[in-house]
Amino acid sequence: MHSLRSPYLLYLGAAQHLTDAKTACGLRDWCPDKVLGEWALPESRVTLGLPRLSPAEAAAKGAGSLIIGIASVGGTVPEAWLPDLLAAIGAGLDLVSGMHTRLSSFPVLVEAAQRHGVQLIDVRHGTQSYPAGTGRKRSGQRIATVGTDCALGKKYTALALTKALQAQGAKATFRATGQTGIMIAGEGIAIDAVVADFVAGAAELLSPDNDPDHFDVIEGQGALFHPAYAGVTLGLLHGSQPDWIVLCHDVSRVHIEHRPDFPIPPLDEAAAQYLQAARITNRAVQLAGVSVNSSSLDDYDWHQYRENTSRTLGVPVCDPLRGGVEAIVSRVLGVSSL
């Protein structure tokens, strides 16, 4: 499991648009107490509104890691970044990347990291071995976010649920399964990089035994209905052993993104399939609610959609950015043993 040294300096490279810096924006918004500032190449046109600090200045203020906060074309680490990355290593900072290209593929970075005693952490690429899943019932309570498709708010919903639970006085921990989530949480497992036979086992390690009144909120990956990524979804679901699932959906999508031959099922069918799959390891699993990206709807249509969907499924329907997820949290806390 990856564990990151905070606080962070966020690296923006030569980013030209804020959309290039989604990872950095997520860190700024969800773990501001772990973020010291930002650094970029002179040609960058993006700022997060954070203090501009060089690696040496950030290190002097106590920074532990420089995190690459942008996504380059093809997930590569451009040669133009190397002087800044070497400066960070020289200042004693760990380097953290979610790129496809491994930091360890650059001999100059490896040599510098060894010389200065710092880590090169590729959160997308794990080195730990995991056991097969056992299916053993674990203490504590678990909420898993699941989706009708990829990239529609499972991470954001899990973070919002964790924050809302904590605001109600509940003990809750966000369990990260993707690279950006790991950077926000400071630890986690990039579940899509785990060998298929051991995904469930890795998920068991991610949310171990805990206090009976503690909630692990597990970031979902993929979708059961996705022809490429259903496998990781199922393994994560079985290993997470959720007591509750929250179904995430984008109302503007009628088929799997970029795959028009794969329609998204109606939400009642989607929920039923997720519950059936989750019952393999927890027969008591329940649907807690539906988290919706409703940005394509005006206020009237969103109200109608929310009411109709809630009536059909019998659970709260929320948009984390349009009223929050408190109704889902209230359902969980009201029915749980707290």
Residues 305 and 156 in one domain: yes
pLDDT for res 73 = 59
Instruction: Of 53-67, 68-82, 124-138, give the range with the top mean pLDDT.
Output: 53-67
pLDDT (tens digit per residue) in 314-329 = 999 999 999 999 999 9
CA of 233: how far to CAs of 223, 226, 239, 240, 325, in Å?
6, 9, 10, 10, 23
The CATH number of whichever domain residue 113 belongs to comes to 3.40.50.720
Residue 129 lies in a domain: no
Whole-number Å distance between alpha carbons of 140 and 142: 7
What's the confidence (pLDDT) of residue 75? 67
Domain count, the chain: 2
Round the average pLDDT of the chain to a whole number and report it. 94
Co-location of 117 and 148 in the same domain: no
Do 224 and 292 share a domain, yes or no? yes
The pLDDT score that the predictor gives to residue 101 is 86
C-alpha 147/C-alpha 183 separation (Å) is 22
What's residue 38's pLDDT? 97
When pLDDT is averaged across residues 233-256 and rounded to a whole number, the result is: 97
Can you give the pLDDT at residue 76?
76
Is residue 141 over pLDDT 80?
yes
Could you tell me if residue 254 is inside a domain? yes
Higher-pLDDT residue of 76 and 189 is 189
- pLDDT higher at 125 or 201: 201
Residue 10 placed within a domain: yes
Please report whether residue 130 resides in a domain. Answer: no
Q: How far is residue 299's CA from residue 316's CA, in Å, rounded to a whole number? A: 17
pLDDT higher than 70, residue 17? yes
**Domain closes at, from 87, 122, 157:** 122
pLDDT above 50: residue 54: yes
pLDDT at residue number 296: 96
Q: Is 153 exposed, middle or buried (0-12, 13-18, 19+ CB in 10 A)?
A: buried
Are 113 and 29 contained in the same domain? yes
Higher confidence at residue 20 or residue 63? 63
Q: Within this chain, do residues 158 and 79 fall inside the same structural domain, yes or no?
A: no
pLDDT at 337 over 60: no
Please give the residue that has the higher pLDDT: either 126 or 212.
212
* Residues paired with residue 68 on neighbouring β-strands, in sequence order: 11
Same domain for 30 and 97, yes or no, is yes
pLDDT at 74: 59
Alpha carbon dihedral 147, 193, 73, 48, in 10-degree steps, equals 70
| Residue % of the chain over a pLDDT of 70 | 97
> Bigger pLDDT: 186 or 157?
157
Q: Are residues 87 and 217 in the same domain?
A: no
- The per-residue pLDDT for range 206-236, each reduced to its tens digit, is 999 999 999 999 999 999 999 999 999 999 9
Judged by average pLDDT, the poorest of 20-29, 80-89, 145-154 is 20-29
| Assigned token pair, 82 | 């190397």
The CATH number of whichever domain residue 316 belongs to comes to 3.40.50.300
47-83 residues labelled b (16+ CB within 10 A) or e (exposed) = ebebeebebebbbeeebbbbbbbbbbeeeebeeebee
Decide if pLDDT at 2 tops 80: no
Is the model's pLDDT at 36 over the cut of 80? yes
- pLDDT beyond 70 at 289: yes
**Is residue 76 assigned to a domain?**
yes
When pLDDT is averaged across residues 95-99 and rounded to a whole number, the result is 92
Of all residues in the chain, the percent with pLDDT exceeding 90 is 87
Range of the structural domain that residue 61 is part of: 2-122
Q: Which of 91, 122, 153 is the last residue of a domain?
A: 122
Same domain, yes or no, for 116 and 184?
no
Q: Are 175 and 83 within one domain?
A: no
Q: How far is CA 135 from its chain centroid?
A: 23
Is residue 269 domain-resident?
yes
Do 84 and 147 reside in the same domain of the chain?
Answer: no
User: What per-residue confidence (pLDDT) applies to 338?
Assistant: 36
Sign of CA dihedral 206, 207, 208, 214: positive
